[in-house]
Amino acid sequence: MTEMIVTNNISKKFGELTAVDRLNISIPQGEVFGLLGPNGAGKTTTLRMLTSLIAPTSGEASVAGYKVGTDDYEIRKNVGILTESPGMYDRLSAERNLAFFASLYEVEDPDTQIKKYLQMLGLWQRRREEVGTFSKGMKQKLAIARALLHEPRVLLLDEPTSGLDPVAAKMVRDFISELKEEGRTIMICTHNLDEADRLCDRVAVFQTELLALDTPANLRRQLYERSVVFHLSDAKETYAESIRKYDFVRSCQVLDNKLVISLPDPEERNPELVNLLVKQGAEIQFIGEIRHSLEDVYLHLINNNIKEEINE
């Protein structure tokens, strides 16, 4: 599979301050990749390096097959960027804003492209109004349209749903999913971990340096044991004691009318546990898995990193 974004030990220093430290990522075509990290983690600096707006202090990177630092013009032509702030011209209409950027991106049929994206993002009816009269959400959608005008193969989105109401945020998320279906490679910087969980094929937790990189599901597995919860009509300690006798069970606790059981492979072991409980006369109401959120993973990684820094 073609790798659309590759960074090889890229670092960025501003004087004594290291903003990005030896970042290694490789993103194949068609992947939605999330870059997660707290404020000041270096996410925006990374995006800026990948759009050739700032140069890495060391290391190498390529975007859409073009090398950062040497093919900057080509990179800018093939990458669409949504910056942290929408950055639209308030005194120009939505249509004029897009027409201006279309001319800079050398879009062949600007009118068609402008109409296409304004319609897709629900702004066509207001195309002639000054952007200064738009809500933050509308400006954000317009900025997304701008990032797509030249049909870039790679999209770098910095906080795409920031400041949007739930309906608009969902619209943008659905739109990103559509763009993924079209085979575009998308890198998203976000604080919205639920959004990253839903949208991203893989995520990188990042705080100046890479802390973890994998699919959200794998990150959960790496950090947390899997736990199932049996809701019973009457949970007794005796049930827990008999369950603890199994070697594969790591722990079992009674909480109200629930049995919370930690085990490595619930899909394989659950039938055995169900049989045991039924034989002992337990009435099982339903069974579920305790699912750790990406937020749990993120906080775990970031807090550990902060503790390590303090210890050092």
Q: How far is the CB of 26 from another protein (least distance, A)?
A: 23
Closer by beta carbon to another protein, 146 or else 226: 146
Cα 213 from Cα 178, distance rounded (Å): 24
If the CB atoms of residues 74 and 129 are measured against another protein, the closer one turns out to be: 74
Compare residues 105 and 230 and give the one whose CB is closer to another protein: 105
Spell out where the chain has E strands: 3-14, 17-28, 32-36, 58-63, 66-67, 79-82, 154-158, 185-190, 202-207, 209-214, 227-232, 251-255, 258-262, 284-290
Distance of alpha carbon 271 from alpha carbon 192, whole angstroms: 36
Complex with another protein: residue 51 or 207, whichever CB lies closer: 51
In 3D, which of 7, 31, 49, 24 has the Cα closest to residue 186? 31
Burial of 276 (0-12, 13-18, 19+ CB in 10 A): middle
* Other beta carbons less than 10 A from residue 281's beta carbon: 10
CB of 72 to another protein, least distance (A): 9
| Binding residues vs another protein (CB under 8 A) | 14, 48, 51, 53-55, 73-74, 76-77, 79, 81, 83, 85, 87-92, 96, 100-101, 103-106, 143, 146
| Minimum distance, C-beta of residue 18 to another protein, in the bound complex (Å) | 14
Which H or E run includes 294?
Answer: helix 294-311
Phi, psi of 245 (to 5 degrees): -70, -20
Cβ at position 140, least distance to another protein in Å: 12
Rounded to a whole number of angstroms, the minimum distance from the CB of residue 75 to another protein is 9
In the bound state with another protein, the residue whose beta carbon lies nearer, of 84 and 237, is 84
**CB 273, min distance to another protein, A:** 55
Nearer to another protein, 88 or 176 (CB): 88
